[in-house]
């Protein structure tokens, strides 16, 4: 849990819930092939490690520019994918290159608040 400026406590899942779900193009994984291993906070890293461990898998290095957790069927760590993956495409500052959008793009004020809260997870 983290404390926001307004004094309210919030979790990583609360933060994720502030991000609108993307309406991706069916079968598209283009952005997963562009940025290598997605950045993640220590808590997100621990979640990914635990998820992989439970499946007898382990952390992988980047595969060139492609995320190592991408398979032909899509993201293999989808339930614990980090903030970076969840935010991509949902705001005017990180638009999807294929033109996909969430139902409603994040307003800049809400995006700023989300980033502000996300930064607290790096401390």
Q: Which residues bind ligand SF4 (CB under 6 A)?
A: 22, 24-25, 28-32, 38, 67, 69-70, 75, 77, 81, 85, 88-89, 96-98, 100
Nearer to ligand SF4, 8 or 59 (CB): 59
84: left (phi over 0), alpha (psi -120 to 50) or beta: alpha
In the complex, minimum distance from the CB of residue 50 to ligand SF4, in angstroms, rounded to a whole number: 15
Nearer to ligand SF4, 86 or 117 (CB): 86
Nearer to ligand SF4, 20 or 89 (CB): 89
Beta-carbon contacts of 85 under 8 Å, excluding residues fewer than 6 positions away, are 32, 38, 75
Find out whether 91 and 105 touch, Cβ atoms under 8 Å. Answer: yes
């Amino acid at each position: 849990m983290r404390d926001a400026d307004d004094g309210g406590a919030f979790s990583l899942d609360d933060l994720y819930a502030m991000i609108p779900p993307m309406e991706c193009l069916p079968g598209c994984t283009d952005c997963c092939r562009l940025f290598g291993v997605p950045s993640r906070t220590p808590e997100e890293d621990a979640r990914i490690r635990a998820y992989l461990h439970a499946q007898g898998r382990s952390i992988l290095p980047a595969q060139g520019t492609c995320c190592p957790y991408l398979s032909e069927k899509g993201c293999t760590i989808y339930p614990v994918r980090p903030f970076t993956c969840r935010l991509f495409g949902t705001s005017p500052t990180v638009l999807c290159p294929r033109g996909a959008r969430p139902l409603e793009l994040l307003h800049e004020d809400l995006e700023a608040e989300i980033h502000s809260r996300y930064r607290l997870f790096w401390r």
